[in-house]
């Protein structure tokens, strides 16, 4: 039986990414970087806090990166389905952090909204995509009536909308980016850049100090470490510009800036939420550092900014 | 405006192997609900319909559920089929109130077993070497605080090697007496033949679950005697034969 032989309408407009030598080359480069970094960090993994964190992060990516490449290399619509499932997983952890995962009505409305975003993306209905937050808010407002209860409903409705905007509407912009020319490459490009930026910031934080940018939120983020991480990310963006459909300077420069600064903002905002909720982590993501939301929080700003920079500004 | 209260103790105060138990939220999480449904379909509609033909005799569970919101279901224990057989005989809509006490050193040993025990069985991990009483406190807390709870527990503590019912351990009575939870007697006939200790997979065949009387909380000797009295009416050979005194009479 052909695994990809479906009866529902599927557009195989482009070959699977694995058929492209660029994709295979990218996979090889990225996995080599992760393995080499892992081999180096392994010997210093217990040296100090920063190496412990870096090693944990590399461990989780040793498992997550091959999985990501396998799925992203599959034909349409599997990469989009995969992103939708990731968004749902992110939303689940958000609701656990906010202590409302057992409020099933709100959780299911958010999940349904995320699935709706996936469907809207698949059918290129940007109007429905951007209208979806209103639908989710409307549905969430009906829950108190269905439950015939008013207790703490402002909190639940607000958090449902916040969770949907961050983990649904924002994150699912990666699905819209998939629709770009070489979309799969661009999604991978953005993920690699944001993850690289975060790990670099963490790694150089001990050695490059300066002002603490937001000591009340995250005392480890300094001006120096953020600037160095951004510079290195922009350098990596330039090195990997072959993944962009247009390799001219403005595109990879914009990508590097968006990945570093947008990712930085997303990370900080999610830290604000975690600290207010009094919750550091829900549980390890595969292995290593933080939960799944720690891995994708940078996308809640980077993905929509990247999308609009590429479509509107450039 | 009032401060928001994030009820996230379920995720902040519990170790990973306990996060599936509704100790703070009083609710089973959505993922576990979905997994339990899938598992119930597989168990009730496939395994115990075609592979093992399960027959339930005695008082219908629907009737018991109406009158007994909290129960400790006890049964003989001779195979890994036992807990799932009892679960399969209970209507699906009662499953979210159903818990199984399971050995932590067996059911929570690796990621796969742990996932299955947490999300499919709703297992409460019992550390058999626990000296601090974590498992006892856990069950007491659940039995006290949950509005509905049916707990499957095997008073023998481990599977019988020969299929004969062994002496009961005290735990069942502790839970029952401290929380004033009645006990439901059940007896599985044919479990030892289908999946005896040491065999890798169960054999296909027939299994009968006898549902007996609801017994009030009491000391373990009393519970054991009442259980024995009931089971002997079904299967006179269910218990270990007590060696009789050698006769001195000359023929």
- Distance CA(A129)–CA(A125), nearest Å, equals 6
Q: Where does the pLDDT of residue A83 fall: very low under 50, low under 70, confident under 90, or very high at 90 and above?
A: very high
Phi, psi (deg, nearest 5) at residue B77: -135, 110
Omega prior to A77 cis, within 30 of 0? yes
- A295 to chain B, any CB pair closer than 8 A? The answer is no
pLDDT at res. B241:
66
Report CB contact under 8 Å: A101, B9: no
pLDDT at res. A226:
87
What one-character DSSP code corresponds to residue B42? Answer: H
The most confident of A11-20, A140-149, A225-234, by mean pLDDT: A140-149
Q: Is residue A16's pLDDT more than 60? A: yes
Of residues A60 and B104, more confidently modeled: B104
Q: What percent of chain A has pLDDT over 90?
A: 33
A133-147, B151-165, B171-185, range with the lowest pLDDT: B151-165
**pLDDT (mean) for A33-61:** 79
Q: Which residues contact A282 (CB under 8 A, 6 or more apart)?
A: A93, A96, A97, A291, A293, B11
Q: Where does the pLDDT of residue A167 fall: very low under 50, low under 70, confident under 90, or very high at 90 and above?
A: very high
User: What are the pLDDT digits (tens) for B114-137?
Assistant: 888 999 888 999 887 777 778 888
Q: What is the mean pLDDT of chain A?
A: 84
Coil vs helix vs strand at B58 = strand
**pLDDT (mean) for A114-120:** 97
For residue A104, which residues of chain B lie inside 8 Å, CB to CB?
A: 27, 30, 33
Nearest CA in chain B to A153: B4
Report CB contact under 8 Å: B7, A99: yes
Q: Is residue A147's pLDDT more than 90? A: yes
Report CB contact under 8 Å: A97, B11: yes
pLDDT at res. A169:
96
User: What are the pLDDT digits (tens) for A259-309?
Assistant: 999 988 998 998 899 888 887 766 655 555 567 787 788 889 999 999 999
Phi, psi (deg, nearest 5) at residue B209: -105, 120
User: What are the pLDDT digits (tens) for B208-237?
Assistant: 999 999 999 989 999 999 999 999 998 888
pLDDT at res. B244:
47
Find the CB nearest A279 among B12, B25, B26: B12
pLDDT at res. A27:
84
For residue A92, which residues of chain B lie inside 8 Å, CB to CB?
A: 30-31
Report CB contact under 8 Å: B29, A277: no
- Distance CA(A233)–CA(A198), nearest Å, equals 9
pLDDT at res. A162:
95
Q: Residue B155: name the closest of B232, B101, B117 by CA.
A: B101
**pLDDT (mean) for A210-217:** 80
pLDDT at res. A242:
80
User: What are the pLDDT digits (tens) for A17-44?
Assistant: 777 777 888 888 888 888 888 888 888 8
Angle in degrees, CA B66, B70, B75, rounded to 5: 100
Q: What percent of chain B has pLDDT over 70?
A: 96
Nearest CA in chain A to B29: A102
Q: Where does the pLDDT of residue B243 fall: very low under 50, low under 70, confident under 90, or very high at 90 and above?
A: low
Report CB contact under 8 Å: B11, A96: yes
Coil vs helix vs strand at A278 = coil
**pLDDT (mean) for B201-206:** 87
pLDDT at res. A106:
95
Cβ burial, residue A252 (10 Å; 0-12/13-18/19+): buried
Q: Where does the pLDDT of residue B250 fall: very low under 50, low under 70, confident under 90, or very high at 90 and above?
A: very low
pLDDT at res. B72:
94
User: What are the pLDDT digits (tens) for B18-51?
Assistant: 888 998 888 888 888 889 999 999 999 999 988 9
Pairing of strands A218-222, A212-214: antiparallel
For residue A278, which residues of chain B lie inside 8 Å, CB to CB?
A: 6, 8, 12
């Amino acid at each position: 039986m052909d695994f990809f032989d479906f009866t529902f309408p599927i557009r195989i407009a482009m070959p699977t990414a694995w058929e492209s030598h660029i994709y295979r080359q990218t996979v090889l480069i990225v996995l080599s970087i992760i393995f080499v970094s892992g081999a180096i960090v392994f010997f210093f993994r217990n040296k100090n806090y920063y190496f412990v964190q870096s090693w944990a992060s590399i461990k989780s990516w040793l498992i997550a990166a091959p999985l990501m490449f396998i799925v992203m290399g599959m034909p349409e619509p599997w990469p989009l389905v995969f992103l939708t499932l990731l968004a749902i997983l992110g939303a689940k952890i958000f609701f656990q952090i906010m202590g409302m995962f057992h409020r099933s009505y709100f959780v299911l409305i958010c999940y349904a909204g995320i699935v709706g975003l996936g469907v809207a993306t698949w059918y290129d209905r940007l109007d429905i995509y951007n209208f979806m937050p209103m639908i989710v808010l409307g549905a969430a407002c009906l829950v108190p009536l269905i439950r015939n209860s008013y207790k703490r409903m402002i909190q639940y409705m607000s958090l449902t909308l916040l969770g949907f905007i961050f983990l649904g509407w924002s994150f699912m912009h990666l699905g819209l980016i998939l629709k770009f020319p070489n979309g799969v490459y661009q999604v991978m490009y953005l993920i690699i850049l944001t993850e690289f930026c975060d790990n670099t910031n963490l790694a150089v934080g001990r050695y490059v100090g300066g002002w603490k940018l937001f000591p009340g939120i995250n005392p480890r983020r300094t001006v120096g470490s953020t600037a160095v991480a951004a510079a290195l990310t922009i350098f990596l963006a330039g090195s990997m510009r072959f993944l962009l459909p247009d390799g001219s300077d403005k595109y990879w420069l914009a990508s590097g800036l968006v990945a570093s600064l947008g990712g930085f903002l997303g990370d900080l905002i999610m830290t604000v939420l975690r600290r207010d909720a009094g919750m550091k982590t829900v549980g390890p993501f595969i292995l290593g550092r933080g939960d799944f939301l720690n891995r994708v929080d940078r996308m809640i700003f980077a993905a929509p900014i990247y999308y609009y920079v590429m479509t509107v500004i450039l | 405006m009032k401060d928001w209260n994030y009820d996230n103790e379920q995720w902040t105060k519990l170790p990973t192997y306990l996060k599936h138990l509704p100790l703070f939220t009083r609710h089973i999480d959505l993922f576990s609900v979905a997994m339990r449904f899938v598992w119930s379909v597989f168990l009730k509609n496939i395994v115990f319909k075609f592979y093992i033909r399960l027959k339930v005799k005695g008082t219908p569970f629907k009737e018991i559920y109406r009158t007994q919101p909290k129960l400790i279901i006890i049964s003989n224990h001779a195979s890994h089929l036992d807990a799932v057989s009892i679960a399969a005989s209970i209507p699906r809509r009662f499953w979210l109130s159903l818990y199984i006490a399971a050995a932590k050193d067996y059911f929570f040993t690796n990621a796969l077993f742990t996932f299955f025990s947490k999300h499919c069985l709703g297992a409460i991990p019992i550390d058999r070497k626990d000296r601090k009483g974590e498992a006892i406190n856990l069950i007491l807390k659940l039995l006290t605080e949950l509005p509905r709870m049916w707990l499957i527990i095997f008073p023998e503590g481990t599977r019988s090697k020969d299929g004969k019912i062994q002496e009961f351990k005290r735990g069942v009575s502790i839970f029952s007496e401290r929380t004033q939870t009645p006990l439901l007697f059940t007896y599985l006939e044919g479990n030892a033949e289908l999946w005896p200790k040491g065999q890798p997979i169960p054999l296909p065949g027939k299994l009968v679950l006898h549902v007996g009387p609801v017994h009030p909380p009491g000391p373990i000797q009393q519970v054991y005697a009442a259980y024995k009295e009931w089971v002997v009416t079904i299967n006179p050979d269910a218990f270990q034969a007590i060696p009789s005194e050698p006769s001195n009479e000359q023929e």
